[in-house]
A and B are shown apart, each in its own frame.
Chain A
């Protein structure tokens, strides 16, 4: 599938991450390497700690021990803002769009970090502020075109059906032109057609922009089709890590997850 897309060096490394909530261990000693340009899927039963892992990566949760190394810089924890400035974007399991805003404005917020016009010019909406709005609108329109949501660009997101909201959320994350895109169950609750579309978009993003993608997904078919590598979590522990085929044939994984789910 992947054409000439080359998987590069490790861009993000998690070392020995532990995270607990009120004595419950959500993640224990997790170590994962994410390589540049790859699509890495994280799978595991509910409550395995998948979302927590993404939250550690972009700094929403702070691990109790372990370190996060991103682009060669090691730190004990990420901060959401640092993660954003350094090119980590994400979508959420339960759609976290800005309900009161239009599709266009939602995606525009994704470009906040790239906009620099000062307060004064914004008050007047002239000069730098206006040029900037136009310049970024163009970028946003390209994303809208890419995701084929032209007909809803001015619709408030609250009025959209679920599948489209997911697409808009992907658009908002893309607007930041991220190097790593974290997708938390991008296809949950979608019908087959919507899943196919979303898979197509994820592959295209990876392909056209070279974006590294870490995704959580329950649909095994989708995971096996999309990903270069699969990490399996169970009760906060990593029990598998390898190509889709390797993981499929890993006995521990079959016992813990695949066997139970099917």
Chain B
């Protein structure tokens, strides 16, 4: 039983990280209807930039802080570039073309990041303690083993979600953003500048990517495979709904837990490695019963 809880908690914690990436997707999809496949590439790019800047700035008084600031600035520039070079010229194009364009962005960022910063595996150490913690020893025999970095990551991710929620609910920009998500034309007609909103969302998505990159990077090392966690986040999206922040979080937890549990309890029977596809199958199966995802909006076809 303790083992089950341990696996479950491990899964949930991985799930939080999926949620974080999925969150980036949701933000952009909500505000601009773009299915942003480049979210994974943004994670890699942000993490690469961050880790390499620390190395370059290691002799300064605060290499981590400085790097963080510069990386954040770079993500803002990236958001502006995307708005200017991709979204604006392609306004009113079909969703599929925009999706393809984000694939282009993904290719570009992957290539650009690795050209600029190299393609080795870089360890990222920003002082997160890594000792495992033994929890709930009183409840289960042998307790539950949890990595403290995972715990911290979970807390950080949770904090980020709260911050974003406040940002959306309480700030003017956040409200404008929700208006845009509801109806582009209406928002534009009451004077909400669409282009500005896009820059804001892409910046926020970039920051989320940076956080995800730092957490994953410090856990696994910063390397190309970070780019692929975008693929992990996709089933989370179908499960939670493309337009729901809450859905992204809960979906992430379900997928994270389900993936780990299935790998442990189901994997041995079919040769292992099922975490590659289990999440997708789970999401697909789920979709058959609820086509719009857990928290997605139901659209009634008006004819």
Contact = CB atoms under 8 A, between A and B. Distances in A.
Interface of A: 21, 51, 55, 60, 92-94, 96
Given A55-B303, A60-B301, 4 more contacts: A21-B300, A93-B303, A94-B303, A96-B303
Contacts of A55: 303
A60 B303 contact: yes
Q: What DSSP secondary structure best describes chain A's contact surface?
A: loop
A44 to B, nearest CB: 17
A225 to B, nearest CB: 27
Task: List 9 tightest A-B contacts by C-beta distance, closest first.
Answer: A92-B303, A60-B303, A96-B303, A55-B303, A21-B300, A51-B303, A93-B303, A60-B301, A94-B303
Contacts of B303: 51, 55, 60, 92-94, 96
Interface string B278-303: 00000000000000000000001101
A76 B208 CA distance: 52
Contacts of B301: 60
Nearest to B303: A92
Range, interface on chain B: under 10
A78 B301 CA distance: 17
A21 B299 CA distance: 12
A96 B301 CA distance: 12
Contacts, number: 9
Contacts of A93: 303
A21 B303 CA distance: 15
Q: What DSSP secondary structure best describes chain B's contact surface?
A: loop
B292 to A, nearest CB: 15
B95 to A, nearest CB: 15
A130 B57 CA distance: 73
B248 to A, nearest CB: 25
Interface string B61-81: 000000000000000000000
Nearest to B298: A22
B150 to A, nearest CB: 42
A21 B300 CA distance: 10
A74 B301 CA distance: 26
A94 B303 CA distance: 7
Interface string B210-239: 000000000000000000000000000000
Contacts of A51: 303
A37 to B, nearest CB: 26
A51 B301 CA distance: 12
A92 B300 CA distance: 16
A60 B303 CA distance: 9
A19 B90 CA distance: 41
A96 B302 CA distance: 11
A171 B303 CA distance: 18
Nearest to A54: B303
Interface in B259-285: none
A119 to B, nearest CB: 27
B203 to A, nearest CB: 35
9 contacts: A21-B300, A51-B303, A55-B303, A60-B301, A60-B303, A92-B303, A93-B303, A94-B303, A96-B303
Nearest to A90: B303
Nearest to A92: B303
A92 B301 CA distance: 12
B121 to A, nearest CB: 48
A111 B301 CA distance: 24
A60 B300 CA distance: 11
A149 to B, nearest CB: 23
Contacts of A92: 303
A92 B303 CA distance: 6
A166 to B, nearest CB: 15
B65 to A, nearest CB: 51
A93 B303 CA distance: 7
Contacts of B300: 21
Interface in B235-266: none
Nearest to B300: A21
A144 to B, nearest CB: 25
A93 B300 CA distance: 16
A92 to B, nearest CB: 5
B245 to A, nearest CB: 23
B96 to A, nearest CB: 14
B97 to A, nearest CB: 15
B44 to A, nearest CB: 38
Interface in B90-122: none
Contacts of A94: 303
Nearest to A96: B303
B116 to A, nearest CB: 42
A14 to B, nearest CB: 18
B63 to A, nearest CB: 56
A88 B301 CA distance: 20
A93 B302 CA distance: 10
Contacts of A21: 300
B300 to A, nearest CB: 7
Nearest to A93: B303
A192 to B, nearest CB: 27
